[in-house]
Amino acid sequence: MTKIKLLDSNTINKIAAGEVVERPASVVKELVENSIDAGANRIEIEIQNGGKALIRVTDDGSGMTREDAALAVRRHATSKLSSVADLTNISTLGFRGEALPTIAAVSKFILQTRRVEDELGTKLTIDGGKLSDVHEVGCKVGTTILVEDLFFNTPARLKFLKATPTEANKINDFVVKLAISRPEVAFRFVNGNRVALATPGNGNVLDTLSAIYGTELTDSLLTLQSDMESLNLRGYVTKPNILKSYRSWQTFVVNGRVVENRTIAKALDEAYKSLIPKTGFPFAFVKIDLPQDSIDVNVHPQKIEIKFEDEGRIFKAIYHAVREAVEGKRETSEHDLTEVAAAPETPHFEQINLGDDFSEDDPPQNFEPPKKSEPPKKSEPPKKSEPPKKSEPPKKSEPPKKSEPPKKPALELEPIGQVARCYIVAQSGNDLYLIDQHAAHERILFDKLSGYAERIPAQGLLIHRVLQFDSQESELIEKNLSVFADLGFTMEPSGANEFRLMEVPADASDTDAENLLRGIITEIFNGVNSADDLAKNIRQAVLATTACKAAIKAGQELNQRQMEILLDDLSKTPHPHTCPHGRPTIIKFSAADLAKMFKRT
């Protein structure tokens, strides 16, 4: 007696549903990607009950004929792939031809579609995989797919679904990413009866991001750009001070496809880690275009994860682009995401980079810009007594570049004076520098504090401060007294919602202790997202707030010696070019920049 049975196609579809359709968000993803593939300009997504009760996706794309609609709900029917050879060259989002039949197998499914050239459209009703009705209907051009009671006939899957808000959030996260990946498509997402998202569809990425996250975020964005042979990187990141404890506000798009990829995520993490102790994830939109045959999208049934042929190259491209953006080498701008943005016309004053790549992008400049009309050496009057040959300097000393060691040591900034009691004017060689005294000191303190591996050295307050907090704050402090103590804040409970502050970090001992601690508590509550990252958050808040509050303020007069010390300390920190909030600390004007400003060239 044979034990092996062939499965009927409906069963196969139900099994496959576990791979392609894991939850309502995967249904939304498949349907929206189909709409994008169909060339839609407008896509509307509506859900009820986190998509468990209802998902409706409406587009104004190409639509289908009656025959195509019937085929579309059959397994491995796809208009996007005709041979195995095509698998290495996939440019549409869908290609396996399994989404519609698998979704239809586990839901009450209605597809309604019309092409512009057809007078009437087609309506197709499928219940748990069984076609129950096909007929002609009058409808708008495009396609609407309605998915009700997802997993009604697969109770095991149904049980596995999470509460409505969780499922709705997962859908929202994905719709956001899809909308960012296609700024030329107007997305509308209605959750319950609330419009959760509406993008303009005008092709402008910054407008799209503003519509989703608000202008506060877009105002703080830095531009990513890198062009290499057959690799084009575009995108935006936030300054390192804007972090969240989850990765969902990072959108990666590779060749037009929203993807997940560890290499991209890791490159972002590493780039930020080098600038600020890691306590979260920055916002990021990373768009990569590269030859389709150097990626593999077929590794995951939901086509979410992709593999790059050369992961190392991707890592480097992102890492350097982020560092460049954060270090202020690029101005934030809307860029054409497919082409290289035009170079800005005005001279762009770069922040200096005192790190190891300083010598690379900063070749020594002559103070006097070379004038083409004057031959540089011959204009000097030759001395008659000397034979002409000797007036030529020996070859060795002639190009100063070659006689210099390949790597410059850290820059020595020599203070000239202070402007507006806020900026230090300094020089180094022939270059002029402006340094923000508060931002610079903040960076020095921050790096110093974060450098203490164990305990931050504390100094006792001469007069202990007794501070009142509200009950929420008190609970937080009470539970984390030892965390605070390690960070230099020694406290003990001294009454109901009351603490005695006895020690503060030595570097902040002159600071208004009460103000400092309250600033830290506020920071902690602002940044905290889950109990897990509380300790990290406290640390982060202590470092940033202490550095900020203990740093020299704008308005404080500095003498020559104080400026010297500050600049010396600054040049020794590993990240002198930005303050812990990501703002620039140093602006450099090279001799060439000055020459340009005075129109000497």
Q: Which does 126 bind (CB under 5 to 8 A by kind): ligand ADP, Mg ion, none?
A: none
Q: What's the angle, vertex CA 177, arms to CA 171 and CA 180, rounded to 5? A: 140
In angstroms, the CA 28 to CA 176 distance is: 12
Tell me how far, at minimum, the Cβ of 102 lies from Mg ion, in Å. Answer: 10
Tell me how far, at minimum, the Cβ of 103 lies from ligand ADP, in Å. Answer: 8
3-state SS, residue 470: coil
Tell me how far, at minimum, the Cβ of 26 lies from ligand ADP, in Å. Answer: 12
Q: Which does 183 bind (CB under 5 to 8 A by kind): ligand ADP, Mg ion, none?
A: none
**Residue number with CB closer to Mg ion (73 or 224):** 73
**Residue number with CB closer to Mg ion (81 or 134):** 81
In angstroms, the CA 454 to CA 335 distance is: 45
Tell me how far, at minimum, the Cβ of 172 lies from Mg ion, in Å. Answer: 21
Q: Which residues pair with 578 in a beta bridge?
A: 584
Tell me how far, at minimum, the Cβ of 423 lies from Mg ion, in Å. Answer: 57
In angstroms, the CA 99 to CA 379 distance is: 78
Cβ–Cβ < 8 Å for 55, 44: no
Other Cβ atoms closer than 10 A to 8:
10
**Residue number with CB closer to ligand ADP (79 or 351):** 79
Should residue 415 be labelled a site residue for Mg ion when binding is judged by CB under 5 A? Answer: no
Tell me how far, at minimum, the Cβ of 160 lies from Mg ion, in Å. Answer: 23
Binding residues among 20-39 for Mg ion as defined by CB under 5 A: 34
Cβ–Cβ < 8 Å for 578, 442: no
Q: Which does 112 bind (CB under 5 to 8 A by kind): ligand ADP, Mg ion, none?
A: none
Tell me how far, at minimum, the Cβ of 30 lies from Mg ion, in Å. Answer: 5
Tell me how far, at minimum, the Cβ of 61 lies from ligand ADP, in Å. Answer: 5
Judged by CB under 5 A, the residue of 24, 50, 63, 94 near Mg ion is 94
Q: Which does 62 bind (CB under 5 to 8 A by kind): ligand ADP, Mg ion, none?
A: ligand ADP
In angstroms, the CA 347 to CA 326 distance is: 19
Tell me how far, at minimum, the Cβ of 37 lies from Mg ion, in Å. Answer: 7
Cβ–Cβ < 8 Å for 567, 323: no
Tell me how far, at minimum, the Cβ of 79 lies from Mg ion, in Å. Answer: 10
Q: Which does 122 bind (CB under 5 to 8 A by kind): Mg ion, ligand ADP, none?
A: none
**Residue number with CB closer to Mg ion (103 or 224):** 103
Tell me how far, at minimum, the Cβ of 232 lies from ligand ADP, in Å. Answer: 26
What are the helix (H) ranges across 365-498? 388-391, 400-403, 437-451, 471-479, 481-486
Q: Which residues contact 234 (CB under 8 A, 6 or more apart)?
A: 224, 225, 287, 335, 337
In angstroms, the CA 320 to CA 162 distance is: 39
Which residue number places its CB atom closest to Mg ion? 94
Should residue 101 be labelled a site residue for Mg ion when binding is judged by CB under 5 A? Answer: no
> In degrees rounded to 5, what are phi and psi of residue 534?
-60, -50
Q: DSSP letter string over 240-282? A: TT-EESSSTTEEEEETTEEEB-HHHHHHHHHHHHTTS---SEE
Q: Which does 96 bind (CB under 5 to 8 A by kind): ligand ADP, Mg ion, none?
A: ligand ADP
How many CA atoms within 13 Å lie on the side-chain side of 293?
3
**Residue number with CB closer to ligand ADP (143 or 490):** 143
Which residue number places its CB atom closest to ligand ADP? 94
Q: Which does 444 bind (CB under 5 to 8 A by kind): Mg ion, ligand ADP, none?
A: none
By CB under 6 A, name the binding residues for ligand ADP.
30, 34-35, 38, 59, 61-64, 72, 77-80, 94-100, 143
Contact mark string toward Mg ion, 163..202, x via CB under 5 A: ----------------------------------------
Should residue 226 be labelled a site residue for Mg ion when binding is judged by CB under 5 A? Answer: no
**Residue number with CB closer to ligand ADP (118 or 593):** 118
**Residue number with CB closer to Mg ion (95 or 236):** 95
**Residue number with CB closer to Mg ion (34 or 62):** 34
Applying CB under 5 A, the site for Mg ion has a residue count of 3
Using alpha carbons, select from 434, 448, 428, 416 the residue that is nearest to residue 358.
Answer: 428
Sign of the CA dihedral running 574, 576, 580, 581:
negative
Q: Which does 35 bind (CB under 5 to 8 A by kind): Mg ion, ligand ADP, none?
A: ligand ADP
Judged by CB under 5 A, the residue of 17, 38, 90, 99 near Mg ion is 99
**Residue number with CB closer to ligand ADP (146 or 209):** 146
DSSP H helix total and E strand total for the chain: 20, 24
Burial class (CB in 10 A: 0-12, 13-18, 19+), 96: buried
**Residue number with CB closer to Mg ion (99 or 516):** 99
**Residue number with CB closer to Mg ion (115 or 577):** 115
In eight-state DSSP terms, residue 372 is S
**Residue number with CB closer to Mg ion (57 or 205):** 57
Gyration radius (Cα) of the chain, Å: 31
Using alpha carbons, select from 93, 95, 89 the residue that is nearest to residue 295.
Answer: 89
Tell me how far, at minimum, the Cβ of 176 lies from ligand ADP, in Å. Answer: 20
Using alpha carbons, select from 330, 335, 333, 370 the residue that is nearest to residue 349.
Answer: 330
Residues engaged in binding Mg ion (CB under 5 A): 34, 94, 99
